[in-house]
Structure 1
Amino acid sequence: MLPFVLASPTLELLAPSAADVPAIVDACQDETLRRFTTVPVPYDRSDAEFFLRRIVDDGWATGREFTWGLRRPGSGLLEGIISVRLRSSDVGFWTAPASRGRGLMTGALSLVADWAFEGGALRELFWEGYVGNDASAAVARHVGFTYQGVGPGLHPGRDGGRPLCWKARLRPGDERSARPGWPDLGGRSAGPGRPAEYRDADGVESVGDAGDGVRRPSPDPHALARDRSLPEAP
Structure 2
Amino acid sequence: MLPVTLTSARVHLDVPTRADTAAITEACQDPAIVRWTTVPTPYTPRDASRFVDALVGPGWASDREYTWAIRRTGSTWLEGVIGYRTAGRDLGFWLAPSARGAGLVHDAVGLVVDWAFEQGAPDVYWECYVGNTGSASVARAAGFSYTGIGEARIPGRDGGPTSAWQGLRRADGAPASDLPWPAASFADGGHADDTSPTPRR
TM-score by length of 1: 0.78
Matches within 5 A, 1:199-218: 199-202=189-192
Structure 1: stretches of 5+ with no match in the other structure:
189-198, 205-234
1:203 deviation in Å?
Answer: 5.9
- Report the equivalent of 1:67: 67
Question: Secondary structure, in 3 states, of the residue corresponding to 2:101?
Answer: coil
- Report the equivalent of 2:49: 49
Matches within 5 A, 1:1-234: 1-118=1-118, 120-174=119-173, 181-184=180-183, 185-188=185-188, 199-202=189-192
**CA distance in structure 2 between the partners assigned to 1:203 and 1:102 by the alignment:** 8
**CA distance in structure 2 between the partners assigned to 1:156 and 1:84 by the alignment:** 17
The answer (yes or no) to whether the contact 1:15–1:68 under 8 Å persists in 2 is yes
Structure having greater relative contact order (Cα 8 Å, sep ≥ 6): 2
- Report the equivalent of 1:193: none
1:158 deviation in Å?
Answer: 2.4
1:8 deviation in Å?
Answer: 1.3
**CA distance in structure 1 between the partners assigned to 2:79 and 2:65 by the alignment:** 20
Give the letter for the 2:154 counterpart: H
Q: Structure 1 vs Structure 2: percent identity of aligned residues?
A: 45
CA RMSD of aligned residues (A): 1.8
**CA distance in structure 2 between the partners assigned to 1:32 and 1:168 by the alignment:** 21
1:180 deviation in Å?
Answer: 7.2
Between the two proteins, the alignment pairs up a number of residues equal to 191
**CA distance in structure 2 between the partners assigned to 1:161 and 1:54 by the alignment:** 24
Higher strand share: 2
1:157 deviation in Å?
Answer: 2.3
The answer (yes or no) to whether the contact 2:95–2:193 under 8 Å persists in 1 is no
